[in-house]
Structure 1
Amino acid sequence: MNFFIYIQVHISELAIVPDHCRICALCDKAEAFSCLCDHDHDMVCSNCEQISKLLASLNSLIADSDLKEKEDCRDDYQYKLSQAQTNIFSWKTHILRTCYQERAKTEIMNTMGQNDILIVLDWAMKFLPQRYREDQSNWFGKRGLSWHTGVAFRRIKVVESSAFNHIFNGQIPQDSYATSAVILDIVNELKEQDNSKDKVHLWSDNAGCYKSSDTIYALYCSKSVTSYDF
C-alpha cells in the first residue's frame, strides 16, 4: 500500500516522470483522447521501475525454471502472474483517475459562486447495522436493498452542505433509469428551495449507472445540469 500512497503524492501536471504526469499518463493512443504536455519527461521513477522489473523477473523465472513434477502447473503460474500484473496496473490507473477527479471537484469548490451548486453522488453499499454486533445472516440479508445518497454544496457566505438520501422500499437495479431519476429529483428539490442556483455541477465515481448514455441523455434533456465529472 505504501507504493500507491507514494503514487498519489507525486502525481501532478508538471511531473517529469511519465507515469506521474497527470496529462501524459491519461493520454490514449487515439489522437482524439490525447494531448501534449508543455514539458519533457526525462526522469524515471525507481519505485515504478522496480515493480516492472519484479514482474519481468517472475515471468522469466516461471518460463525458465525446471518445475519437475509440477510441470503441469506452469500455465497456472503464468496465468496467476498475468492476472496479478493486470490488477496492479489497473489499480495504478484507478489511483490516477481518482486524483484527476479530486482535482475537478477541488476546482469547482474553489471557484464556486453564488449561483453554483456541487452535488456529490454515490450509491451506498448497505444500510447501517441495527445492532452493535450484527451476524452474517442479517448483513447479507440486506443485499439488494438500495439507497442512494447525494450531498449538495453551495456557497452563501460560507460553504454549506445538504444531504439527500433516497431509500427504496424493495429491491431495484442500480441502473441508469433509477440513477437519473434520483439525480433529477435532487436537482429539482434544490431549485425549489432556491431557484437562483442555476449552475448545477455533478460529481460521482465511474460506475456504469452514472456514465451510461441513458443517464447522460436524461440529464442533457433536463437542461438543468451545467457540468458532470465522473
Structure 2
Amino acid sequence: MADYRNATVRSVPAAGTRTDIDQGLRTYMMKVYNLMAGGLALTGVAAYALYALATTSDPAQAVGQINGVYFTELGAVVYQSPLRWVLMLAPLAMVFFLSFRVHKMSVQAAQTTFWAYAAMVGLSLSTIFLVYTQESITQVFFITAASFGALSLFGYTTKRDLSGWGSFLFMGVIGIVIAMIVNIFLGSAALTFAISVIGVLVFAGLTAYDTQQIKEMYYEGDGSAVMGRKAVMGALRLYLDFLNMFLFLLQLFGNRN
C-alpha cells in the first residue's frame, strides 16, 4: 500500500503563501469528507434497497422466513444460500485491493472502486434491518454522526501530536478481531458487550488520529492525480472509522426486532 503520510520532507513555507496553503488544505479536506459522506450515503441506500427487495410483509408471497421475517425469492437467495458468504467477503477483498493498488490507479478508477466498495458494504449490511428496528438504526446513526463530527474536529484542530496513538490503536483493532473470532465459538453475551465498548473507544480514537494523519498528508506541491488518490484513501479511512463505530454502538444501544 502506498504510504502518503511521510512521503516528502516539507520545507517551511514563506508567510506570503500561507493563505494559498490554507485554502488548498480546506479544499483537500472537503474532498475527503465529501467522498466519505457519499460513500456512507451509498452504503445506506444499498443496504435498505436490498432489504426492501428481499423481504415481504405478505406471508402468501414469501418463500421462506427467519425469526418472523418473510423472504421473497431474492431474499432466499441472498440470505439463505452460499451467496451470503460472497456478500460478506467481497467488501473485504475490495478494500485490500484498493489499499494496495490505489497508487497505480487513476483518480477516476480509485473513486469508482471506492463507490463499488461502499455499495458492496451496503449489500452485506442489509442484514442489520433483519436484526434491529429501523428507528433504533436511525437513532444510532445520528449519535454516531455527532460523535464522529466532534472527534474529527478535535483531530483536525488540536495542536497535540496524536501520532503516538497509532500503534496502541492498531493493537486495539487486532485485539478486537481476535476477541470476535473467539466469541464466535463461546457465544458469550458479556464478551460481546466488552468487545462493543472497546470497539467504540478504539474507533473513536482512530477517528481523531486518522483525521490528523490525513491533514498531514496534504502537500501543496502535489499534482492533481496524487492529491486525488490521497483524498480517496483518506475518505476510505474515515469511512471505516465511522462504519465500525456505528456498528459497535448499534450492538450496544440498538433495539432488536
Task: Give the TM bin, normalised by the shorter chain.
Answer: under 0.3
Q: TM-score w.r.t. structure 2 length?
A: 0.22
Richer in helix (by share): 2
Q: TM-score w.r.t. structure 1 length?
A: 0.24
- Structure of greater relative contact order (alpha carbons < 8 Å, 6+ residues apart): 2
